[in-house]
Amino acid sequence: MNVKKRTLKQKRAALGIVFILPWLLGFVFLFATPLIQSLHFSFNALKVSPGGGYTLDFIGLKNFKDALYVDPNFNRLLTESVTGMAWNVPMILFFSLFAAVLLNSKFTGRPLARAVFFLPVILASGAVASAQASGLIQMTGSSEVAQELGLAQTGFDPLIVVDLLAHAGMPDLLIDYIVDAVQRIYEIIRSSGVQILIFLAALQSVPHTMYEVAKMEGATPYETFWKITFPMVSPLILTNVIYTIIDSFTDSSLTRMIYTTAFQSQNFGLSAAMSWIYTFVISIILVVVGALISRRVFYNT
């Protein structure tokens, strides 16, 4: 019996399926049912029964209309979440790529430096946050306090940076963006740990022969970065953009409002409707951003 050999494309496709199989099984058995149930709740008025359980009264699109046209805070928080995401994602990506390039170079203490950049991700994890809230871990301050102490000790004055960039001819919007990034450096570092690891993996997969040939041809480090490094890591730029967008919505003011509406106000139908509107907006953003960036992505096949 002759067995047809699979092509390289088919082998890669099978490897991709195996890679996402744990997530796929978790989605089917753990997440799919609550997701469908949430959609069902959004079209109903849910009332908790005194003896346990709940009853549903179908009301159509009323929950969605209440979220968009009646609730005084939903539209404002939704707009703030989207604009905040659009403001923060480029900062995080630029810093992550910059830090990954530095950490990919050879120097003494490189493993320790990589651990330091990933440490804020561990400190911001749910387990550490829960332990801190329960009193098991006592932190000695906050990012706001650390920033105030840092400004007091270093004497950093944003007006100096503004004046310097203004004399360089930069637009006011770009100046505000850079100054805001400098003032929120702790928040950016805290949100960049995973992205730095992804970029590091991409940088380490670039063949060294490319850099050797570029060096022999007399390419400058600037040319090497834009002609070799940046195109080779561009697929992971798309990955990091999508990850950062999703991660920016996981703990926003709107998600906290949705949680409060469900478990404090006991309005589960309205909360489910808000969640689905939020999901729809995020999905549109991901589709548009993914379509725009994927056109510029270079795949070394």
Q: Is 8 a domain residue?
A: no
Sign of the C-alpha dihedral computed for residues 108, 109, 111 and 113 taken in this order: negative
Q: Indicate the pLDDT class of residue 26, thresholds 50, 70 and 90.
A: very high
pTM of the model: 0.74
- Among 152, 178, 156, residue whose Cα is nearest residue 165: 178
Q: Is 193 a domain residue?
A: yes
Q: Is 65 a domain residue?
A: yes
- Within 13 Å of residue 237, how many CA atoms lie on the same side as its CB? 21
CB-CB contact of 136 with 153 (8 Å): no
Q: Is 38 a domain residue?
A: no
Q: Indicate the pLDDT class of residue 156, thresholds 50, 70 and 90.
A: low
CATH classification at residue 153: 1.10.3720.10
pLDDT of residue 67: 92
**Residue that wins the pLDDT comparison between 210 and 106:** 210
pLDDT at 165 over 50: yes
For residues 211-230, average pLDDT: 87
- Among 211, 230, 210, 7, residue whose Cα is nearest residue 100: 230
pLDDT of residue 56: 87
pLDDT of residue 205: 85
pLDDT of residue 154: 47
Q: 81: which residues sit within 8 A by CB, 6+ positions away?
A: 248, 249, 252, 253, 254
Q: Is 261 a domain residue?
A: yes
Which of the residue ranges 1-5, 38-42, 81-85, 251-255 would you say has the lowest mean pLDDT? Answer: 1-5
pLDDT of residue 221: 85
For residues 223-228, average pLDDT: 87
Q: Indicate the pLDDT class of residue 153, thresholds 50, 70 and 90.
A: very low
pLDDT of residue 140: 47
Q: Is 12 a domain residue?
A: no
Structural domain count of the chain: 1
Strand partners of residue 47: 55
Q: How far apart are CA 185 and CA 147, in angstroms?
A: 9
Q: Is 259 a domain residue?
A: yes
Q: Indicate the pLDDT class of residue 63, thresholds 50, 70 and 90.
A: very high
For residues 183-192, average pLDDT: 77
Residue 151: give the domain boundaries.
52-294
Which of the residue ranges 31-40, 128-137, 216-225, 285-294 would you say has the lowest mean pLDDT? Answer: 128-137
Q: Is 14 a domain residue?
A: no
Q: What's the mean per-residue pLDDT of the chain?
A: 80
